[in-house]
């Protein structure tokens, strides 16, 4: 292995790998399924949302299959290391999650609907793992791009926590934070399950339905 693994503790900024000032690859121009550009700037009126819910291969497919989503791409977010390589993220020494950037048309799909998909597509109570995938990069997270999205995400968490508890689940461990830098993952990760239809997908939910459109935690 290239690096010793840190599966149960996030690194401090001083402990994190240094990374690099620029990525070592060129991002593909267009989404293999949706046909739209992966990288911004995006057309006026579209909105960006970032989610982490385990292995990003299956997570990305969940979102690109959603009507109203204009493009998706996978990357690394929430940590300290600029432009990390996949192997570095897997070491646990970057602090990043495996994240999905979702660019959507809010007139066609609401942020609340994307939050519902997020919550129902994984188990947000598992800490630094998702199913058999273990490591800090598999933690659950929502990275928001506006104060309105921050409050909406927090309200959805509190509402979902209520129904999860009544179904026997523990505390939600999802971090909900303003979005920091998003570093696109290597080209072979982009739309991986479109290129490899029988590839690994570790995404699986709790089976507990999430309330949609809640304005308050008790809504």
Helices (H), the chain: 56-64, 86-90, 111-120, 147-166, 192-195
Q: 15, 206, 40, 183: which is closest to 122 by C-alpha?
A: 206
Which is catalytic among the residues 55, 90, 201, 210?
55
Identify the helix (H) or strand (E) that includes residue 96.
none
Identify the helix (H) or strand (E) that includes residue 183.
strand 182-184
- DSSP letters, 132-144, are TEESGGG-EEEEE
Backbone angles phi, psi at 165, to 5 degrees: -60, -40
Whether the CA torsion 146, 204, 93, 89 is positive or negative: it is: negative
Can 210 be counted among the known catalytic residues? Answer: no
Residues 6 or more apart from 151 whose CB is under 8 A from it? none
Q: How far is CA 157 from the centre of its chain?
A: 15
What 3-state DSSP class applies to 98? strand
Can you tell me the distance from the alpha carbon of 146 to that of 159, in angstroms, rounded to the nearest whole number? 20
The residue count for the chain: 219
Catalytic residue IDs: 55
């Amino acid at each position: 292995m290239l690096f010793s693994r840190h599966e149960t503790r996030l690194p401090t900024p001083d402990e994190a790998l240094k990374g690099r000032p620029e990525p070592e690859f060129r991002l593909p121009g267009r989404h293999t399924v949706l046909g739209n550009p992966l990288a911004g700037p995006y057309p006026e009126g579209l909105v960006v949302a970032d989610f982490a819910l385990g292995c990003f291969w299956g997570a990305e497919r969940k979102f690109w299959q959603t009507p109203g989503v204009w493009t998706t791409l996978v990357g690394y977010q929430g940590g300290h290391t600029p432009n990390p390589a996949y192997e570095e993220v897997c070491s646990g020494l970057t602090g990043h999650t495996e994240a999905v950037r979702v660019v959507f048309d809010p007139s066609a799909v609401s942020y609340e609907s994307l939050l519902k998909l997020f919550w129902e597509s994984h188990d947000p109570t598992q800490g630094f793992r998702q199913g058999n995938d273990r490591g800090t990069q598999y933690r659950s997270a929502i990275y928001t791009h506006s104060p309105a999205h921050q409050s909406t995400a927090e309200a959805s968490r509190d509402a979902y926590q209520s129904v999860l508890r009544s179904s026997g689940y523990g505390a939600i461990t999802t971090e909900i934070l303003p979005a920091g830098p998003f570093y696109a993952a290597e080209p072979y990760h982009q739309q991986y399950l479109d290129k490899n239809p029988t590839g690994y997908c570790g995404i699986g939910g709790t089976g507990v339905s999430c309330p949609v459109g809640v304005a308050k935690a008790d809504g």
